[in-house]
């Protein structure tokens, strides 16, 4: 797991405060795709439990796995009793119980691609559902976005996470749907986008940036300098696009993957 992947724990409280949660529409989308009640789920890289709460509060028994102790401690403050919190990287989760749903919320790109899909399949019931969802929080106003880009430029060319498999942004099917379509373990791969627009104070937007890995790995002095520069070019409140891209796939019934 990369340094960027493990950089979040130092900002666990900020992650909880500034990262948006997930809407009920996402739960409805996943369960409609499943076509049957989802009673058990395993979450990959649960962070502070934003997505955990979405599923657990609707009756799903969630096993939330997260490698970072600080993130997991924050998660435990916020989740209901039907959540089992486990400190583990996805690669260290040993198959045993099988789940109706395995999902990752803005975390799958931090997992090891080697053996990823057989490992996911081994954790799913036959016909079980894999879901991956997330997306960047981006300034809606092009002029404000350009001002922030210019303020950031001396320290950071881009703050985005590139596509793990190099899929260009203009391609219709995005990662991880591209990998799922090529996998032998999954079928019925679908992609959907939940459009979401939010309003944040300038301070909260910078607080959100403080949870983004590209900034977290900067030296502390540079990080504070770039945040100060960004804050100076922002209006008091900003509109942001926070669309959620959702990928769904179904484990083939005939697969058997003892790991």
**CA atoms of 18 and 34, how far apart (whole Å):** 30
In this prediction, residue 83 has a pLDDT band, given cuts at 50, 70 and 90, of very high
Tell me the whole-structure pTM to 2 decimals: 0.92
- What residue ranges define each of the domains in the chain, with the CATH number in brackets? 9-136+162-195+243-251 (3.40.50.150)
The 10s digit of each residue's pLDDT in 6-52 is: 444 457 899 999 999 999 999 999 999 999 999 999 999 999 999 99
Residue 162: pLDDT over 50: yes
Residue 259: pLDDT over 70: no
Q: Taking residues 227-250, what's their average pLDDT?
A: 98
pLDDT of residue 4: 41
In this prediction, residue 1 has a pLDDT band, given cuts at 50, 70 and 90, of very low
pLDDT of residue 185: 96
DSSP string, 88-149: --GGGPPP-S-EEEEEEES-GGGS-STTHHHHHHHTEEEEEEEEEEE---EES-HHHHHHHH
Strand residues in 112-185 grouped as ranges (E): 124-134, 138-139
């Amino acid at each position: 797991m990369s340094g960027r992947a493990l950089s979040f724990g130092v900002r666990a409280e900020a992650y909880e405060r500034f990262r948006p949660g997930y809407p009920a529409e996402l739960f409805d989308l996943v369960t409609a795709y499943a076509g049957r009640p989802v009673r058990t789920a395993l979450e990959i890289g649960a962070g502070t439990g934003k997505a955990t709460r979405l599923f657990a509060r609707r009756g799903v028994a969630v096993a939330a796995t997260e490698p970072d102790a600080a993130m997991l401690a924050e998660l435990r403050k916020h989740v209901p009793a039907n959540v089992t919190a486990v400190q583990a990287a996805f690669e260290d989760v040993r198959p045993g119980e099988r789940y109706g749903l395995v999902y990752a919320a803005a975390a799958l790109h931090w997992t090891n691609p080697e053996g990823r899909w057989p490992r996911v399949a081994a954790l799913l019931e036959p016909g079980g559902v894999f879901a991956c969802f997330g997306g960047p929080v981006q300034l809606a106003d092009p002029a404000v976005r350009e001002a922030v880009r210019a303020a950031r430029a001396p320290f950071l060319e881009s703050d985005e996470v590139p596509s793990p498999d190099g899929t260009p942004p203009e391609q219709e099917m995005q990662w991880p749907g591209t990998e799922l379509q090529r996998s032998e373990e999954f079928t019925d791969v679908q992609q959907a986008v939940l459009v979401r627009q939010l309003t944040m104070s300038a301070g909260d937007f910078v607080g959100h940036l403080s949870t983004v890995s590209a900034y977290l790995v900067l030296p502390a002095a540079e990080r504070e300098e770039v945040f100060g520069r960004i804050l100076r070019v922002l209006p008091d409140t900003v509109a942001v696009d926070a669309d959620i891209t959702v990928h769904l796939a179904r484990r083939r019934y005939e697969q058997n993957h003892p790991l």
